[in-house]
Each structure stands twice: as C-alpha cells, then as structure tokens.
A and B are shown apart, each in its own frame.
Chain A
Amino acid sequence: MPPRAGFSKRAQYTQFTGYIAAGLGALIGALLLGVSLWQPQFLSGLRGGAQDVAAPGTTAVAAARTDSKDLLATIRGYLRAGSQNAALKREVEIARIRLKEADAVRQENARLKALLDIRDGEVRPVAIARLVGSTASSSRRFAYLGAGSADGVQAGMSVVSPRGVVGRILEVGRNSSRVLLLLDSESVLPVRRARDELVAFAEGRGDSLLRVKLINLGINPLAVGDMLVTSGAGGYYRPGTAVAIVTEKTADGALARVVSDPAATDFVAVMPIFESAAARVADTPPEHVLDQGGPG
C-alpha cells in the first residue's frame, strides 16, 4: 500500500478500490483489444455512430481548410504568373495534340470493342463527397468520408479522386464512412505498369510510401518514374486508374509514391465495386471454393 493514504482507513479503502477499478479497466480494455484485433469489425456500428455525430463539425472544418488552401495557392500563383503562363501555354499545346491522338485511340477502341461485342456501360460514382477527417494521430491510415449508407455507400467500394485511387471503404455509418487509405499497412492493391502488362502488388508501408512487389520474380524491370495503375484483379477497383509512381528500386520490386496524396485530396468519388462476383471469389478462402466445386 503506497504511503500517501496515511492512517485513515477510509482513505486507504478509497485508494484500494481505485486501484481495483483501474485494474479492472485495464483488464476490460485488454479484452476489448483482443476481440477487436481478432474480429476487426467488432462494434463497428458504435464507431460509425460516433463518426456520424462528429461529421458536421469535421465537414465544416474540412471546407474551411480547403478554402484557405485555395487562397494560398492563388497568392502563390500571382507571384509566378509570367513564367508559369508561358510554360502552361506550351504544355496545353502539346496536350491538345495528345488529346486528338487519344480521341483516335478511343474511337478505335470503341470499334474493336463493337467487333468483339463487349458492352461497357458508363460507370457512375455512387457518391461524391469530401474527405472530412482522418486518424492523424494513429499509426493506422484511415480517412473519414462525408457520405454513408444513406447515400448508397457500401463497404468494399473504391474511393478515387480526380488524380487517382485514394483507398477503399472499410466501414459504413449512416452519413459517414471510414476509408482504408492506400498507405495503410493493411492495404494491398493489385497493380500493373501503365505501359505494359507487368503485374505487381502495391502494399502500404506505414510511412508515406508504397512497397511494390512483383509477382514474377527475376530481373527487376521496374525503373524510377514508372507509372502504376490498377489492374482490376480482385474485382474491387476498375482497371486503369492511376495509383503510384516508382521512386526507388529495391531487390524484389520498388518503392512508390502515391499519385493521389490524401493530404492534397478534397472531393472524392465512391465507385461501385467493379466486379462483385470476382470480389466475392477473392474474399472466399481457397478451401471453401474447392468444397463448392470451384467458383461458378
């Protein structure tokens, strides 16, 4: 018994019960922690509800933050207007030419697809919303999105910004949802190199980089500056969306920087699951598939 309680029996008992209660608290916490590590979806409804309550505040702050960022960008733009203008004009001219070329390619694509009788309807986003907050102090990388099940958002849907993939919906509340960012160390995304069919996995590393692991080992063909896009394998993401740019080669792949940095992202679109049948198969353990005689 620590000496601070002195000789008062009452004070000693109070202190003792305090210790018991605190010990019980730690024990309850350990149990909760064990269960939620074992079943990550445990009590996710509670978290979703809490998020919904906080959403109005975080949305307002997110809006104010974006506006102030725009203001700074405007001021910076004034300072370098002349040289930037000239550079942009050159760039736009090149881009116009490339755009015409892309038109031709698109037309040819459509013709070929018509020949092959492939229908691809336009995919509309389920919802467009702001990234309203994040878990900025935890070592997990989650963001909160200002749209939830009321807008038709479901777990597993992909979240993209105009620049590229941001992440995937993990939990859904009524008016908000939790997004697993690409940078989280639990996130794995099948990618391919933009200019050929080199396939790889991009895993979050827990810091600001992705680790790219090649599927076919051998001579590492990746080079710094290579663009990686989604391959569509797994069925969650639409193929061909920009993911990351290789910044450093490693022995079994590369390190890559995410194209759509969540810190620079404002509005994002929630896309429907690309091929839900494929996603279901990907989620089913192999032995289960074997029991049922293979994926239908």
Chain B
Amino acid sequence: MYHYNDFDTAFLAERNAQFRAQVERRVDGSLTEDEFKPLRLMNGLYLQLHAYMLRVAIPYGTLNSAQMRKLAEIAERWDKGYGHFTTRQNIQYNWPKLRDVPDMLDALAKVGLHAIQTSGNTIRNVTADHFAGAAADEIEDPRPVAELLRQWSTDHPEFQFLPRKFKIAVSGSDVDRAVTKAHDIGLRMIRNAAGEPGFEVIVGGGLGRTPMIGKVITAFLPKADLLPYVEAIVSVYNLLGRRDNKYKARIKITVHENGIERIRELVEERFSAIKAQFAGFDQKLLGKLEAAFAPPAFKTGNVKGYEAARLTNPAFASWSDTNLSAHKADGYAIVSISLKAHGATPGDATADQMRVMADLAERYGHDELRISHEQNVILPHVHKSDLPAIYAALRDAGLATANIGLVSDIIACPGMDYCALATARSIPIAQEIAERFDELKLEHDIGALKIKISGCINACGHHHVGHIGILGLDRAGVENYQITLGGDGSENAAIGERAGPGFSADEIIPAIERLVLGYLELRDSSDETFLEAYRRLGAAPFKAVLYPQETKQDAA
C-alpha cells in the first residue's frame, strides 16, 4: 500500500488548519453561508435533511486496519456509532456537528485519510476495481495508476473549478468491476498485440438524468502516456464544457454535443502540446508507486482444513460459495464481507463491525481491506486455511450473510432518509426487498441478480445499470417507484429500459416479487441468469408479469 510521505502529511495538516479557520469564521459570522459553502464542500462537508454529512474519501477503495479502526473511532466519538459506505468507495458520516468537523479531519489525517475533493466541481475520489491486486483475472494492479491520479488531481490548480464534477475509475482487468463505462473517464487495462499492458480509455460515460455509456477515445494508450493524456482530456473539457447549464455541464454532454471524433482531435492536439512537460517525472513517480503496491508475501500451506470445514458446515459452505472470488495466488481467496444483512441498511457498518473487519485484515489478510462500489467490504488476500476462523468471527459480528451478487445484495443510495436532493426513500425499499426474498428462501435458486435503487434521478444508486433498477420519484406529493430492466454495469455495459408506469411504495415490493418469480418461470435452465434471460427474451414477457392487469385488458 501507499503510505503518506512528509509532503502529503504537511499538505494535509495545512489544509486542515485552513478549514479549521474557515469554520471559526463561519461560526463567528465573518463568513456568510454563500461564502462558506464552496469551502466546506471542497472539504467534503454537506448539509443534508437532518444534519451535516461528512464524506471521507477512501482512495481507490483501499484501507489498512489502522485506517479502518480510525473510521470506527470517528463514528463513535463524533457520530452515532456507524458509518455508511457509498457507491463511490467513500464513507459518509450522517450526524457530525459543525464545530467537531475540524477535529474529525485531524483524526483522519493521523492515518492518511481526508475528505478533500469528495464534493464540488473537481476531480473526485478516483475509484478502482475492489479486487485490485488480488483478482485471478487481473493484468496489473490498477492502484499505482489510481494513486498517481490522486496525487496529480489533488488541488490541481487548473482543475479546481471545472464545469461540473469529474469522476475517474480504473480497472486492472478485462473484467470490469469498476463500472468504467459509466464514468467521466474510464480506464480499462488491456494488453496490446505485443502483450504490453496499457489502457482502453473511455470518456463521457455517466448515469444521472441523462445516462450515457462512455465512448472509447483511444483503443490502446501506453501506460507511459497516461497522465498527460488524462490531463489533456480534462483540459479540453474544462474549456469546452458548458457552464451555462448545470444539467448540460458533464463531459458526457460535451462528448455527445461535439462528437467523439472532435473531442479526440482536440485531446490529441492538447496531448502533443503538453506531453513534453511531464518529462519522465510522472514515470519515476509511477515506478515508486508500483513498488509501494507490490504484492504482500503470500504464504503457502495446505487447504485441507478449508475443504473439511466445507464438508461439515453447510452454512460455511454456502457462504464460501457466494462470498469468495478467485485469487491470483495459490491457496488464496478474496473474501467479500456483505454489508447487506437482510433488513439492514445497505452499506452501513457499526464501529464494532469496522473493528472486527480491521482485526481480521490485520490477523489474516496482510493488513488490507477494500470497499466496493457495491457497498461491501473486501478482505483481498486470505489464505484458504484461515477461512473457517474468519467466517466464525464474521458470523459473531453479524457480518456473515451469504448473499454476494444475489437478489438481497442491493445497492441503495441514502435517499430521502438523509439526502437533501432525494425525491423518495431508497433504504426502506432495499430493506423490504431483502427481507421478502429471505422469507421466500429463494435467493440461491434465483442466482446472480443485481438490484440497484436510487432515490432521485441523480442515480447515486446506479439504478440505470442494475439488472433491475428502481428509481424513486415524487409524483404529486407521493413516493413513486419506476422500474428499469436489463441494465448492466460490467464490460458489457448497458442502460436499463423503463418497464412502464411507476409503483407506489406499497406496490413496489410485490412488483419486484412478481418480476423475479416470473423470471424463474421464463428462464430456460437454472444456469440462465436474470440478465441473460432478459437479453434472450426481450422486455415483453417481463412487462407482462409486472403489469398483469394491462396485459389482460389488451388480450380482451
């Protein structure tokens, strides 16, 4: 992992001291809210429905145990004993008091964490594949590049007042676990004909009110050109992006309005102009970062204990079927810890749970943790012989739900339970769907299915790329939920199609149940996933089970 050097530490201390002074001036009345708001947003501090909210960056989703313990301590000392992990690999505290925030930021700085650029029209926290450095299918660990981008983008003077926010995601594998096609810039590692690793660069993806799948601006970018090329893209956008209309200000609209060919031309031109300025310094730094992210010393040993536990403990076997992924090292597995216990708030962890996960990472996991955009926590490097002990500890902490990738592993934004922008609630819908399918005991029969819920069109809950997406709206003063079908956030990214009229809060859970039970009837075998069945059959049979009344009337 990367550890802060003296420069990082001094920079953060200075920045936190500045913000402390800004808070003091706000409290004594010398700064108005209009003056203070951009300053607090630059430091991740929002004002929501019931309280302030502090959004802390977890760069590329990577934490060590000391950092996770600090997040737990902050939750207990200044919040209500829990934190909410988000779809951007951040953590949000929902109840801080304004006067406490400078102390919270100082506490974060002690373990090399901050809330800088988690808001505002800047380059936001760079996200990455949550299996980075561990996945069996990986070409290279994407985190050195992500850290390079973090250092370059933090306080970058040219990019502090972009037309709108700007999100970059990096994947180190052909298999896209970072939703790169729905980001302002997506970097997907691939190999060229000579076998050298580089990036397919995707621009102009995004969800929100105008969902767009990103377009490939360059099919293969050598790693050495990465920083000047990304800088060229952001520079072109900075000049061309529309500042006249907030809803047309994201780069997806710039690409859409100008065409990818024109954008490519401008980016190439800018790239040629600035490339020489980088003069190899970025490559020297990248080399150091690659050394910092060198894989841990993997141990060897037999996995007989693991095999035996699978045979004797069906609950452990079920958990290891759903919550483990293939690791690049022999005898190792990637453990996904579900923060989606049936009926719990997706992405929430208590301070005690955070400490349990930190302890497990330190004792069994080479001191590494990851946060996924699907709002779960990952132990990326676990030797299989340690899995029974890990499972037992997770079970005692209420963290052993065996549902990764299943119907109850739902992404949900905070919605109108917290968010000032929301038009309806998301969390209770996620809770009720999970509880209902737990009652039906069908979850494992249903298999891989991603339900994603957003409480407004800004789509923080990624509903457009859910196999089943749910969008909460305010229809004439009542919460109303629209369903989209067939979305996909993977390397085969697709935007879901709206199924039809929305459902009330009372109707939405039965509607989802009809839809999923309908799929069980429609699939050609138990191996065909919901998404595969949808792609084979099209929307019509799914709409028919969703809206049985209308179908009957049409037939009559």
**A, B from the same assembly:** no
Residues of A at under 8 Å CB distance from B? none
